Amino acid sequence: MTTPAAVRAALPRLLTTLAPYQAAVVRIGTAGTWGAYLLREWGNRRVLYGDRSPWSAELNDRLLADTHAFTALSWSDGRWWFEAVYLLALLSAGAVALGWRTRASTVLFALTVLSLQNRNVFLGDGGDNLVHLMAIYLVFTRCGAVWSLDARRRARRPGRDPAEWGEPRALADALAAMLHNCAMLVIAVQVVLVYATAGWYKVQGARWQDGTAVFYPLELDYFTPWPELSGLLGGSLLVTFALTYGTVAMQVGFPFSLAARRLKNVLLAVMVVEHLAIALLLGLPFFSLAMVSADAVFLPTALLLRLGGLLAVQGRAAGWWVARRSGRTGGAAAGEPVEAVAGGPVEAAGEPVGGADG
Amino acid sequence: MSAVRVWSKPARVVLVVAGVGLGACVLAFLGALFLHVAPANSVSKQYRAQVDWVVYPEFEQNWKLFAPDPLQRNVAVDARVQTVGPDGTVVTGEWRGLSAEDWAAIRHDPAPSHLDQNLLRRAWDFYESTHGEGDAQAAPGSRGQLAERYLERIALQRTGTGGGRVIQVQLRATVTAVAPPAWSREQVDTAPHVRELPWWPVQDADREGLS
C-alpha cells in the first residue's frame, strides 16, 4: 500500500533525471533511423522534398495556408535553400545520434524533420509519423545524459559535485529533470497509444476476426519486395491464422502488460521480432526501425546496461584488431576513434546523471 | 547519489508550481491525444475544437495502418499524354504504367524509396479521398483541386514530352481485388475495374520545376 510517507520519499526522485538509458536509446534509434532514411533518399531528395517535387511549393503553400504546419522550406523555394536544409537535417540527425551538443542538436533535428515532412505530407507512412512525434518529444528530454559525446565530455572534465551546487543551479537542474520526466512519460504513453489504437481497431475488422488479415498485405504490389517469400508465408492457413490472432492479442494486450514486468519484456521481444519481419517482408525498414526505437522506451535498464557493456567490449576488440592491422600496414593508431565511440557508453555509465545543461 | 537536498521555501514554491503546471499540461496533452485516437464519443464531440487545436498540425496520429482491415486491393495508375508536334499534328501517346514502374523498382529492394512506395500511391489515395466515386473537376481552391494538380504533375514528370508540346494529360486507375488465400473457400470478384479520368489540359506553368 502507498502511504503518505512513501509518497513523500518518492517525490525527490521526480526531481532527478529518470530513465536516462531509455532516453538515450530512443534518441539514438530515432535519429539513426531518420539519418539512414535521408541517406537512402539522397538521390531522390529533390523530387521528394525539393525544387523538383510534383507537389510544388505553390501547391504546398496553398495547403499550409489551411493547416499552418511548420516548414522552413516555405521560406524560399530555391534549390540551394533546400539543399542547405537537407544537409542540415542529415548533420543534425548525426549529431543527435552521437549525442553531440544534445540540447541544441535535438532542437535543430526537430525543426529539420518538420521542415522536410511538412514540405510534402503526402509522402510519409506510420514510421515518418512516429519520427515526427519523437523528434519533438526528444527536445524536452535530457536524452544526452548517457551514451553520448556530451556525457564523455562531462566525464573527462567533471564539474563540481551536485551536492555543492548553490540553490539557483540546483533548482534549474531539478526543473530540467522534471521536464525530462514529463517528456519521457509522454513518449511512453505515445507508444501505448500507437499499439492500443492499432490493436483495438483491428479487433473490429472482419479480416482480423476471420484469421486471414496477415495474408492480404503480403499480396499488395506496393509491399512485396520479395513476392516468393510473401507467397510462402501467406500460403499456410495455420501460420496466417496464428500471426493474425497473435498480432491483435499482442497489440491489445501490450498496454496492460506494463503492469507485469516479465510479460512486458516478453511482449517487447516478440514485437521487435515482428517489426524485423515487417521490415523485410513488406519492404518497410525505416518504419520498423522507428517503431523499434520507440518501443525501446520500455526496455529494462539492466538489459540496456548489459547490451551497452557488450557493445563496448566488441568495440574494444574491434579497435584492437583494427589497430593491429593498421599497425601491420604502417598506419597510425586507428583503434582510438573506434574505441572512443564504442567505449564511451560504459565509461559514462558510472557517471551521475544530470549535469550542467539544466 | 548525494543526500536529499533541503530546499528553501521560495525554491519549494517554484518546484510545486512547476510540478503542478507541468503535470496539468502533460495530462491535457495526453488526454487530447487519447480523445483523438478514440472512436468519436460524447467527450471528444464536446471538446472537438480543443482536441483539434492540440493535435493539428504537428501531433497527428495515423496508427490505423492495416486496421480495421488491411488493404485488399491493388491500384495500378497509368498515364498518357497528348502532344502537338512542330507541324501541328496532335498525337495521343501510349499508356504508361506508373504504378507498374513503382512495383518493378520495389522488387528485391531491401529498402524501397518513398519515391516508389509512397509518392504515387498516396497521391492517388488523396485524389480518391477528395473525389469519391466521381471524377468531376473539383471546385477551385478546394483540396480536391490540389489533388488533381498533384496527380497531373506526377504524370507529366513521369511520362516526359515525347518530343512535342504536351497539351493534355489523362490518368486511369485499374483496381483489382486481392484474391482470397488458396486455402480459403471465399469467393471474391477479382476482375479488374478500370476508372478512366477525364483529359486534363496542360499549361506550360503546370510543368514548372519538373525537369
Shortest distance between the Cα of B131 and any Cα of chain A, in A, equals 16
| A170 domain-assigned | no
- Report the Cα–Cα distance between both ends of chain A, in Å, rounded: 34
Residues of B in contact with A167 (CB under 8 A): 7-8, 11
A261 lies in the same domain as A342: no
Shortest distance between the Cα of A43 and any Cα of chain B, in A, equals 10
Shortest distance between the Cα of A139 and any Cα of chain B, in A, equals 14
The minimal CB distance from B37 to the residues A182, A197, A208 is found for A197
Residues of A in contact with B118 (CB under 8 A): 122-125
Beta bridge partners of residue B193, listed in sequence order: B175
Locate the chain B residue with the closest alpha carbon to A178. B19
A146 lies in the same domain as A277: no
Q: How far apart are CA A6 and CA A320, in angstroms?
A: 49
B112 lies in the same domain as B34: no
- The length of chain A in residues reads 358
How many Cα atoms are found within 13 Å in the side-chain-facing hemisphere of A355? 25
Contact between residue A342 and residue A314 where contact means Cβ atoms under 8 Å apart: yes
Per the structure, the complete domain to which residue B117 belongs is given by 73-207
Please give the ipTM for the structure prediction: 0.95
A273 lies in the same domain as A217: yes
| B3 domain-assigned | no
Neighbouring CB atoms inside 10 A of B85's CB total 12
> Which grid cell is A227?
513476392
pLDDT above 70: residue A41: yes
B23 lies in the same domain as B110: no
| A3 domain-assigned | no
Beta bridge partners of residue B172, listed in sequence order: B78, B196
B121 lies in the same domain as B34: no
| B66 domain-assigned | no
Residues 35-94 of B with CB under 8 A from A: 37, 56-72, 74, 76
A270 lies in the same domain as A207: yes
| A38 domain-assigned | yes
Locate the chain A residue with the closest alpha carbon to B144. A63
pLDDT above 60: residue A2: no
A266, A283, A299 - which closes a domain: A299
* pLDDT, greater one: A314 or A207: A207
- What is the pLDDT, as a whole number, of residue B161? 73
B38 lies in the same domain as B92: no
* pLDDT, greater one: A104 or A358: A104
Per the structure, the complete domain to which residue A74 belongs is given by 18-159
- A283 and B106 within 8 Å at the Cβ level: the answer is yes
DSSP for B92-151, written as a single string: E---EEHHHHHHHHHTT-SS--HIIIIIHHHHHHHHHHHHTT--PPPPTTSHHHHHHHHH
pLDDT above 60: residue A334: no
CB-based contacts of A339, cutoff 8 Å, min separation 6: A315, A316, A319
Task: Fill in the DSSP letter of residue B173.
Answer: E
A50 lies in the same domain as A127: yes
Dump pLDDT digits (tens) for A83-96.
999 999 999 999 99
Shortest distance between the Cα of A85 and any Cα of chain B, in A, equals 18
Shortest distance between the Cα of B106 and any Cα of chain A, in A, equals 5
A323 lies in the same domain as A236: no
Q: Does B7 touch chain A (CB under 8 A)?
A: yes
- B99 and A48 within 8 Å at the Cβ level: the answer is no
Residues of B in contact with A189 (CB under 8 A): 30, 33
Residues of A in contact with B138 (CB under 8 A): none
Mean pLDDT over all residues of chain B?
94
- A182 and B68 within 8 Å at the Cβ level: the answer is no
- What is the pLDDT, as a whole number, of residue A324? 66
Q: Phi and psi at residue A110, in whole multiples of 5°?
A: -60, -45
How many Cα atoms are found within 13 Å in the side-chain-facing hemisphere of A15? 24
A277, A299, A321 - which closes a domain: A299
Locate the chain B residue with the closest alpha carbon to A205. B68
Dump pLDDT digits (tens) for A199-226.
999 999 999 999 999 999 999 999 999 9
Q: Does B109 touch chain A (CB under 8 A)?
A: yes
- What is the pLDDT, as a whole number, of residue A335? 33
B87 lies in the same domain as B190: yes
Shortest distance between the Cα of B135 and any Cα of chain A, in A, equals 20
pLDDT above 80: residue A353: no
Dump pLDDT digits (tens) for B162-199.
778 999 999 999 999 999 999 999 999 999 999 999 99
SS3 assignment for chain A: CCCHHHHHHHHHHHHCCCCHHHHHHHHHHHHHHHHHHHHHCHHHHHHHCCCCCCCCHHHHHHHHHHHCCCCHHHCCCCHHHHHHHHHHHHHHHHHHHHCCCHHHHHHHHHHHHHHHHCCCCCCCCHHHHHHHHHHHHHHCCCCCCCCCHHHHHHHHCCCCCHHHCCHHHHHHHHHHHHHHHHHHHHHHHHHHHHHHHHHHHHHCCHHHHCCCHHHCHHHCHHHCCCHHHHHHHHCCHHHHHHHHHHHHHHHHHHHHHCCCHHHHHHHHHHHHHHHHHHHHHCCCHHHHHHHHHHHHHHCCHHHHHHHHHHHHHHHHHHHHHHHHHHHHCCCCCCHHHHHHHHHHHHHHHCCCCCCCCC
Q: Where do we find the cell 511512453?
A: A188
Element (H, E) at B15: helix B9-37
pLDDT above 70: residue A349: no
Residues of A in contact with B185 (CB under 8 A): none
| B64 domain-assigned | no
Residues 282-341 of A with CB under 8 A from B: 283, 285-286
pLDDT above 70: residue B143: yes
Domain count, chain A: 3
Q: Give residue A7's pLDDT band: very low, low, confident or very high (50, 70, 90).
A: confident
A27 lies in the same domain as A88: yes
SS3 (DSSP) at B72: coil
Q: Does A246 touch chain B (CB under 8 A)?
A: no
pLDDT above 60: residue A302: yes
- A44 and B150 within 8 Å at the Cβ level: the answer is no
A325 lies in the same domain as A261: no
- What is the pLDDT, as a whole number, of residue B27? 98
Domain count, chain B: 2
Beta bridge partners of residue B194, listed in sequence order: B174
Q: How many CB pairs under 8 A join A and B?
A: 217
Contact between residue A118 and residue A66 where contact means Cβ atoms under 8 Å apart: no
A28 lies in the same domain as A131: yes
- A14 and B19 within 8 Å at the Cβ level: the answer is yes
* pLDDT, greater one: A347 or A239: A239
A55 lies in the same domain as A107: yes
A118 lies in the same domain as A215: no
Dump pLDDT digits (tens) for B70-119.
999 999 999 999 999 889 999 999 999 999 999 999 999 999 999 999 99
Burial, B87: exposed, middle or buried (Cβ in 10 Å; 0-12, 13-18, 19+)? Answer: exposed
B137 lies in the same domain as B202: yes
Shortest distance between the Cα of B136 and any Cα of chain A, in A, equals 20
Q: How far apart are CA B169 and CA B33, in angstroms?
A: 42
* Cα Dmax for chain B: 90
A131, A159, A187 - which closes a domain: A159
